[in-house]
Structure formats: C-alpha cells, structure tokens
Amino acid sequence: MGKPMSRNLLKAGHQLVVYDIDQSAIHELASVGAQPGASPSDVAAKSEVIITMLPNSAIVKTVIMGKDGVIEGARSGSIVIDMSSISPQVSREIAASLSQKGIHMIDAPVSGGEPKAIDGTLSIMAGGSQADFDEVLPIFKAMGSSAVLTGANGAGSVTKLANQIIVQLNIAAVSEALVLATKAGVDPELVFNAIRGGLAGSAVMEAKAPMMLDRNFKPGGTLRINIKDIGNVLETSHELGVPLPLTASVMEILQSLKADAMLEMDHSAIVRYYEKLANVEVARKPAGGQ
C-alpha cells in the first residue's frame, strides 16, 4: 500500500524521504525520485509531514515510539499521519505521546486496498484537529478520491472499523447469495447482473462478485489483514460494551479459512467457506455454455 501511495505523492510534486525494512522498496522509490532514509527517525528529521503505513498496532507503536522511531527525529510543529488500520485506543495513545513533544497527529486509515492505492482513489477517513486536516488535505488529495475528517484523534480509526464491518458482512452476504443461486442451478453471473442495479447493488458487490465468478483470489486485501481488522473491531466493541453478533460470525468464517491455509488470498475468498458447506463452486459458465 505504501509504495503506490508514495508514487502518487511523487507524481503530485511532493518531495519524499522514504524508509522501509524492505530495502528493495526504498530502492524502487529512489529510482523515481524519492530520497532514501536511514530510519524512521531520519525520515522524521528531514520531513515536515511524516506518513506511516504499516501492518498492525504493535508495529506502528514501534516505528513511531520505539528506538530510532519517528518521535526521536520529528520536530515540534510537525504532523504525523498514520494511515495504518489499527486500534483507536492505540491511535489515541500515540497522539498523546507525540503531543507531549509538540508533534501533531492525524489517524487516517484508508479503504480501497492496493488497486485504489495504485490509481490514487483511496477513501481516507481522518481523526485529528480541523487545522491539521486542512493543512494536509492536498497530500490526501494526491492519494485519494475522498478525505473526510470524522472527529478528534481516534475517530479515523473508529470510522475504519465501521467500514470493515460493512465490507466484510457485504462480502459474506454476496457469497451466500451466489452459492445459493449456484446450488439451485441458476447461473450466478446472471443473478449478479440482475440484482446489481437494484437495492442489493454495492461497491463491494461490484468489486468482489466478478472475482468470485472468475475464481480470482489474488489479494487486493488479504484474509490475513482482514482478520487483524476484524480483531480490532471486536476488541473495540468489547471495550465499549457493544455486541456485534454478525461481525463475530464473520470472524469465525475468517478463522475457518485460516485453518484451510487461505490467509494470503483476497477476502473475496470468503465465498470458499460457503462453497465448502454447500459442496458447490461459484464460477462463470464457459462461453456458449448452458
């Protein structure tokens, strides 16, 4: 995710200092105009705005708060934008620690996966101050088609949790529907075409139903990442005392797919859980088939 986002920032004319534990990623971006950084601290020392895009809460805390982390190099008045999908509580903890050094923070997770990171049409949901959001809005516009401030620090992360509930439940619903149609002997592609323009239609269906029909489970967002995201959802819901029975059911579906060694597949592979239960496979019919 971070690499194509960086490319779009470079295309928009921004100057970048980049760092990653994967040296090949640094070299690749350096070849198109980025300056290599030696560590998160080094990147922060050379930047007014520092962006992190990382796998989980623990890694974000290490990169920002740990040894040679962002907090050691960032100057007072600089802005840290964490675009990772992490726990809202961790976002608030990091923001509070940075604030003690006069460093501002925006939590700004995204929706759209790698495809939208590549074409610069991510949906960005932000938490922080209005002033900081306004200052970095041109940066967001270089990476996304929309950016909305939803509240103070942590609100962006909460919004991403809500987004993940809707996305994952929608994929599960599409899976159930297409498996039912297939088992009933009706062409699932025709079912998809018939319902996509009605109330059941959605951006999720448009993105994931064709992947299911094509048996294309190359990840835009892996099941591994989605287990992490739904784990954050359930952890937060339990802290708040908010029962989420449908989301909990989706987590068990994801865990079943994990047991079947599908973690690196796209989350459209949720359909394979239902296929296994029904002993049927959702797929396009061959051209000219009946």
Annotated catalytic residues are 160
Q: How far apart are CA 137 and CA 133, in angstroms?
A: 6
- Among all chains, which residue has been given the structure tokens 């004319």? 13
* Residue 14 exposed, middle or buried by CB count within 10 Å (0-12, 13-18, 19+): middle
Q: Which residues contact 208 (CB under 8 A, 6 or more apart)?
A: 171, 174, 266, 267, 268
The two three-digit tokens of residue 235, written as one number:
């952890």
